[in-house]
Chains A and B, each alone.
Chain A
Amino acid sequence: MKRVGLYLGCNIPFRRPDVEYSMRYALKALDFEVVDLEGAACCPAFGSMPSVDLLAWCVGSAWNLSIAEEKGLEYIVTGCGSCYGSLNEAKYHMEKHPEIKQKVNEILSSVGKKYEGKVKVYNFYNLIYDLVGLDELKRKVKFPLKGLICGAQPGCHNLWPEKVFPANDENTFQPKRLREICEALGGEAPWYSTITDCCGMGALGTLAKDKSETLFIRKIKTMLEEINPELYVVGCSSCLLRGDNRQAVMKKEGKIDFELPAVHIAQLVALALGAEPEKVLGLTEVPIEKVLEKIRGGA
């Protein structure tokens, strides 16, 4: 059995544990043994340690990766784009600068830990794409999406900087992988012109709330005009917080006139593989009943 370390991060376990539930369910259904990384901490997020010092950032990431190494794992998976980016960027810096890696290990050794750099860090959709494959995924689908039109949003940190990731789209400015997964589940996921646009969540959302919301509105309005999706499918938990939780607030505040249900790709995969809808979609805020009915109705 393939073993995968489940790296949780912060937003998924605390804010959207339905994504954690979905990742656990989907990975098991796809024949992975899911290994918890007990004692893992924040990736660390870009606004925290990376903004303090390069070595401090690497120490924070190496702490997490050393836990995966101790468990003899070859790879771990994240559902959050920031975790995916931060861990892989830190890995890249340590690889490129052996003197940093050495200093990291001097610090880690004070508590009996060691970082070697052996563990690959995947995000959820690239793990499925590379280590399961679209054919196998298709074979495991119990509830196909019945042509559901999906507006795919891979998310910035899942794409760039290209050089640091173990897997990626061939052309990151014309991403296809997330769309192909939606299609393997039985949906349609056409290209649209704002597919790589930033959703506005993150540091910008904290610093300039209203301005950051204009990015989201422009992205979604263009998508609605061009492909009129029934569901917004994101590859990153921050994009989910923006696409679902924040969208619901914006609707209440009268800032938007659309209502587009949103899920993380792990939720969509879990749903198609047979997970309980009440758990997979248990924390969704934008009404999603129509989508659920289309996929699971009459089952």
Chain B
Amino acid sequence: MDIKLKIWRQSGPKQAGFFEDHRVEADPHMSFLEMLDVLNEQLLEAGKDAVAFDHDCREGICGACSMVIDGNPHGPRAGTTACQLHMREYHDGDEIVIEPWRAAAFPIVKDLVVDRSAFDRIQHAGGYVSVGTGSAPDANTIPIGKRESDQAFDYAACIGCGACVAACPNASAMLFVSSKVAHLSLLPQGKVERKARVRNMVAAMDAEGFGGCTNHGECEAACPKSISVDAIALLNREYLYAGLARD
């Protein structure tokens, strides 16, 4: 299949970017990133600089890949990362527009590569249970209901890719932050530090320059792990509780 590409090129964070046109011969069984590999191989054999994009596991779990495809973070298929998208979703002759995540808190490094270190810094602010190695009780000491545990898992499944930010008109990181807050606040192990956690993580998110949440719900639609916006409601509840608490 003959595919036309419009790809964002930008040589560095301070340089101006532009769209560049390319054509590539793709196979329907190729993954989307394999199609980009073919393009890059063409560029390199012509002695040109290839398109930089983040990728690693190529099985939808590391969260490295990060590109907006025809206006959708990770492309058209729901619950799917760009690396798991396959060319059978497209038709011969299609034109595809590829851009980086666009958010002030994710500065562009080069082409489609952005700097997502803000996400790590938010986690530093409280995305953990304070338990040192060696001081854990036996794993079956505290029973946890299957329902609570499964629910916590649904939120813990976040891969930290940033699609939620890229999809949000406010470039808010609420779904990312709330999925960690929700995961830990649903488990007894995480309850001990719940108040400090939600306060500190929200403060860190604000300090990084992410926008506020105005309930658009675009984040849930774009999330490759289909994490529900219920997490945001849970975060708001936790935040309110932490605000009303005495300590």
A joins B in a complex: no
Chain B residues in the interface with A (C-beta under 8 A):
none
Which residues does A use to contact B, with CB under 8 Å? Answer: none
